[in-house]
Structure 1
Amino acid sequence: MKNLNNYVAIYQEQLEKGDILIAYNALVKFVMSLRTEFIKTLSDHYSFTGILHGYMDFTYFYYSNDFLKSKKLKLGIVLNHLEMRFEVWLLGNTIPIQKKYWELLKNSKWNKEKTEMPKYAILETTIAENPDFNNLDQLTEQLATQMVQASEEIVDYLKTLNQVPRYETGKRSANT
């Protein structure tokens, strides 16, 4: 097994070639522009957070609506760098909420092939398997359509669940 100095040398060598740096910066800029476009066109349906960077594995931002917020849930649009695809993730605001919803959704169409909860999300669904980064306008349009469709499908499914807990954010009344 190589030691960390060996990995750092390989990393530095690849950065000096420049291709990884150019590609990574372009991908992050695209996700930033995607978020900006979604704020312009979809802010009547969702509120959006800032861009978050993973460890060169994911670039993403969260979005939510009143229904999701009332359930302590949020969605994320994720550029999965390792698979080079775009995904929508359903996430809980805390680990206990995430685990509770995993139990409710583990047999859903999104999770039926999984034997355990995904590492970071309650569910993950791919919205662009092989994105064409040579046509960013078309890709933005495709992602907007697929993101809205996947999000609405997830939210509609959540609304059909009778066991979906409602988390109170205020103080309990004397009667509860």
Structure 2
Amino acid sequence: MPIKAYFINNVVLINDIEESRKVYFSGYFGKPINAEKVKEETDISSPLILNAFEALYLMEKGIIDLYYDDKKVESVEEAKKILNIIDRRERQYIIYRDLRNKNLKVRSGLKYGSDFVAYRLGPGLEHAPFIIHYHDIDEKFDPIELVRAGRLSHSVKKDFIISSLKDSNKTLYIIFKWFKP
């Protein structure tokens, strides 16, 4: 039976603590309200907040039912509108979903000025090995931005990945790694 999640004040909330623990540890989804570093189930003693991509992904997988204004959201398309996953964000979501389907644990990359960071194992178990930036395939790319991103990723010991979509849903990834000759 899917877990109830509520869209309230621009966040998606799972109120039940046991269900919050289940969702978090099923793939490191969301952030508990009162916990900084989560290593074990007992570290979660408050509701879980999901971002829009996490909520949509979990809804698509049948793990959560999303509620808005006390009504169950019946379709993915309706959820996308409610969660504001439209235009560029919808394309970013396709990348997010693809990375999740490849068993990576995907979190916000805001701290690094990117769209996502991704873990093989999970936050708290390793440092994220990847910084991922989404870029529309037909959009110009400033080479200075590429150098900046590459230098940042190198300084924090992460691979920098540019992601894009071809033909509206085929994912493309270009990985940049620093090396010493």
| TM, length-normalised to structure 2 | 0.27
Counting helix residues as a fraction of each chain, which structure ranks higher? Answer: 1
Larger Rg: 1
Counting strand residues as a fraction of each chain, which structure ranks higher? Answer: 2
